[in-house]
Amino acid sequence: MADGLISTRALIEAMLREDATIDAGELYAVAEALGMGDQQVRLAIKRLVAEGRFTVDGRGRGAVLTATDTTRAGIEPDRAHVRLMYAQDRGEAPWDGVWHLAGFAVPEAQREARGALRDAILALGGAPVQGGLYASAHAWETALRDIARAAGTEAYLTTLSCTDLDVGGESGAAAAARLWPLDALADGHRRLADLAEDALGRTPDATHAERLALTVGLVAEFTRAHEPDPLLPPELLPPDWIGARARGLAASAWSALAEAEAGSPLRLLRWFDAPLQPH
């Protein structure tokens, strides 16, 4: 089942329970179900302890790992992001037709800060329109200003909004198709859909460790599919966009896994409960 998608470090963090601890015996069992060896897990634990991310009480499979405050804060999911994607799928977050643009021209002497600002814009789903100019279908001005202020580049950032963006003679969905790599994004969602369908089929007869492994794999694939996804509103996507179907299957798989593991304290089984619910 392990195909390089899930790192040992990511697995360990995913095994965190609601009390911020990890049962080492359960961790090793899930690692085995994912095709990871004991030595691989031991080395990863040793590195995480050395970095101050976990403490360990006990030895081997009888040990208990406890996450530090920094670790707990850093591995929470972006619930607002997840809530938005499912709200859009349900038709509860229609697009207002406003494009949000950001441009910057940071001096060469501050190229490190310039790179940080560019990376932040891309991480927020921005697409390059032309040199130094980026577009988003979502409001991002406050986030961009905060990032630019922290990087010391606020004086070089310009933001504006419009309703008539034209990209090489294209507007609306056609413009979005030129700005964002929709084919590559769709491939990621197809992988998620396939994995979610597989998880749904395997959950009823899976062992405890196998179900936890399915959960870890599902969350990892969900993350891989959505990290590069700008979450364009349906108005800017093809009518048969695979993202909505993939998320629907993922939600069904999560529900099935959570129901089958109702007594498990694993936080990963509960992380997306609230964002998935209609409001």
Is residue 239 in a domain?
yes
How high is the pLDDT of residue 2? 44
Rounded CA gap, 162 and 119, in Å? 23
Residue-wise DSSP of 13-46: HHT-BTTSEEEHHHHHHHHHHTT--HHHHHHHHH
Digit-coded pLDDT (tens) for 44-69: 999 999 999 999 999 999 999 999 98
Say how far residue 90 (Cα) sits from the centre of its chain. Answer: 20
My answer on whether 207 and 86 are in the same domain is yes
pLDDT band at 181 (very low <50, low <70, confident <90, very high): very high
My answer on whether 198 and 255 are in the same domain is yes
Which whole number is the average pLDDT over 173-180? 98
My answer on whether 106 and 153 are in the same domain is yes
Is residue 192 in a domain?
yes
How high is the pLDDT of residue 276? 58
Digit-coded pLDDT (tens) for 63-105: 999 999 888 776 766 778 888 999 999 999 999 999 999 999 9
My answer on whether 154 and 211 are in the same domain is no
My answer on whether 191 and 252 are in the same domain is yes
101: three-class secondary structure by DSSP: strand
How high is the pLDDT of residue 79? 77
Is residue 176 in a domain?
no
Closest CA to 75 of 22, 149, 154, 141: 22
Is residue 227 in a domain?
yes
My answer on whether 139 and 190 are in the same domain is no
My answer on whether 83 and 107 are in the same domain is no
Cβ atoms of residues 105 and 133 within 8 Å: no
- 3 or 240, which is more confident? 240
Cβ atoms of residues 28 and 53 within 8 Å: no
Closest CA to 185 of 119, 236, 113, 112: 236
Residue 209 pLDDT greater than 80, yes or no: yes
How high is the pLDDT of residue 1? 45
How high is the pLDDT of residue 119? 92
My answer on whether 14 and 31 are in the same domain is yes
Is residue 276 in a domain?
no
- CATH assignment of the domain containing 34: 1.10.10.10
Is residue 53 in a domain?
yes
My answer on whether 132 and 263 are in the same domain is no
Closest CA to 48 of 107, 100, 95, 8: 8
**H/E stretch holding 104:** strand 99-104
My answer on whether 125 and 141 are in the same domain is yes
Q: Please list the alpha-helical segments (H only) found in the chain.
A: 8-14, 24-33, 38-50, 69-74, 79-89, 111-123, 141-151, 172-179, 182-202, 208-226, 242-260, 273-276
Domain count within the chain: 3
Is residue 108 in a domain?
yes
My answer on whether 82 and 220 are in the same domain is yes
Which whole number is the average pLDDT over 10-36? 92
- Give the domain extent around 52: 8-72
Residue 274 pLDDT greater than 80, yes or no: no
My answer on whether 82 and 202 are in the same domain is yes
Residue 165 main-chain phi, psi, to 5 deg: -60, 130
Which whole number is the average pLDDT over 176-193? 98
Global pTM?
Answer: 0.85
Please, what is the average pLDDT of the chain? 91
Axis crossing angle, helix 182-202 with helix 242-260, rounded to the nearest 10? 30
Which whole number is the average pLDDT over 165-191? 97
